[in-house]
Amino acid sequence: MKRTRQTGPKEPQAVDRHVGTRLREKRHELGMTQETLGNALGVTFQQVQKYERGTNRISAGRLFEIANLFEVEVSYFFEGLPRGSKHRKGA
């Protein structure tokens, strides 16, 4: 029986890292600190760091809130992500 490697709970998936990278890029583009973004979202700057690294996933509701704050479409965070692939860690 062939076993496939599964991502553990502490290993961010590639899609989470990609979304986090897009979040960080846009935040920098707007000249916003992690603390400022955290305050706007009601979370700590450490939580923003975890979002940006992909360590903590961003919920759909939170992503929608961030998109509105940044004045971009939610799809902005997924731009450049390969479609139709099993986009997991190491892929």
User: Strand, helix or coil at 35?
Assistant: helix
Question: What tens digit of pLDDT does each residue of 20-66 get?
Answer: 999 999 999 999 999 999 999 999 999 999 999 999 999 999 999 99
Q: What is the pTM of this model?
A: 0.80
78 or 5: whose pLDDT is higher? 78
Q: Which residues of 23-52 are buried (b: 16+ CB within 10 A; e: fewer)?
A: bbebbeeeebebeebbeebebeeebbebbb
Contact 66, 58 (CB under 8 A): yes
- Class for the domain spanning 14-76: mainly alpha
Q: Is the pLDDT of residue 87 over 70?
A: no
Largest separation between any pair of C-alpha atoms in the chain: 52
Q: Is the pLDDT of residue 76 over 60?
A: yes
